[in-house]
Amino acid sequence: MTTATPEPVPAVEVDVVSPDRREKVDKYGRPRRGRGSGNAGLGSRPGFLTYGLLAAFVIGGAYPLWWSYVVASGTNATRGETLPLIPGGNFLANAAQVLDAIPFWLALWNSIVISSTITISVVTFSTLAGYAFAKLRFRGRDGLMIFVIATMAIPTQLGIIPLFMVMRELGWTGEIGAVIVPTLVTAFGVFFMRQYLVDVIPDELIEAARVDGANQIRTFFHVALPAARPAMAILGLFTFMMAWTDYLWPLIVLSPTNPTLQTALSQLQSGYYIDYSIVLAGAVMATIPLLILFVVAGKQLISGIMAGAVKG
């Protein structure tokens, strides 16, 4: 719920399935047409009420975002209107004010660098460790895995005070490295990859690779990595989102002069005088990158979230 919340922790056995695989299962599990796939819609198609309720919810959910854009493209007075619907023509002017008020491009760049680095690191280390836990035999494996599961629930962000002191010792405060390092690995990532790889790679495949004379690292690259790709994409998306939305730690360890997008955005609200059309222009501008990501990778995001659910 807060910024550093670990992404969904599958509580029981998880089967991360790519969208098309699930699709097949669905089609296999029930008649192709006629009967609604829904539990209540036995023998009937969803009616007007269903669509109406959903549409109402979607419109209600999207309106705050639209409202932000309307105010951001209007004037400070627009905020006081009742249910404004039509955007004005000031968005670019207000956006220019945002660029004056906060180091927006620097913040955007910092956020991209931070989130990308964390994503690459988390996905790499999680895949390596997840593969080892899923498919390799070694002493202490089960104990270590239980340890990983146990630490998933630990709110590591409560360690910010010593982390701050460590960064001070290292002289890293104010540098984006200080934001990156504490999240280079997550227990959730390891668990997620392990759960995926356990099912998806047949043991015989690894055995076969070994018989063919492939060493461990070759096996990893030629067998595990291709199989892990869909889960890596999903883990990458979640990790990116988590790093991108984080606020508490960057707020503490970075300064307003070298911010992330989130800490820069929060500064907009605390001037000596507040023009809400500019503040909301900032909020809209900061949302655009993720909106783009959403349009491009929304389907993966959805299947990723749904894959995190428990197999019934």
Tokens read off for 165: 């002191």
Report the nearest approach of another protein to the CB of residue 202 (Å). 19
Report the nearest approach of another protein to the CB of residue 193 (Å). 10
Report the nearest approach of another protein to the CB of residue 267 (Å). 6
Kindly tell me which of 160 and 198 has the beta carbon lying closer to another protein.
160
Report the nearest approach of another protein to the CB of residue 28 (Å). 11
Cα gap 54→59, rounded to integer Å:
9
Report the nearest approach of another protein to the CB of residue 131 (Å). 6
Q: Is 122 exposed, middle or buried (0-12, 13-18, 19+ CB in 10 A)?
A: buried
Tokens read off for 119: 């994503």
Kindly tell me which of 59 and 229 has the beta carbon lying closer to another protein.
59
Tokens read off for 220: 């990893």
How many other CB atoms sit within 10 Å of the CB of residue 226? 9
Kindly tell me which of 200 and 224 has the beta carbon lying closer to another protein.
224
DSSP of 186-216, one letter per residue? -HHHHHHHHHHHHHHS-HHHHHHHHHTT--H
Rounded to 5 degrees, φ, ψ at 11 are -80, -35
Q: Which helix (H) or strand (E) segment is 103 a member of?
A: none
Report the nearest approach of another protein to the CB of residue 65 (Å). 6
Kindly tell me which of 1 and 86 has the beta carbon lying closer to another protein.
1
Shortest CA distance to 250 belongs to which of 169, 179, 160, 175?
A: 179
Report the nearest approach of another protein to the CB of residue 116 (Å). 16
Tokens read off for 222: 């030629």
Tokens read off for 170: 């290292």
Cα gap 151→158, rounded to integer Å:
13
Task: Give the C-alpha distances (Å, rounded to integers) separating 12 from 23, 144, 191, 195, 202.
Answer: 22, 18, 11, 10, 21
Kindly tell me which of 89 and 162 has the beta carbon lying closer to another protein.
162
DSSP state, 37? S
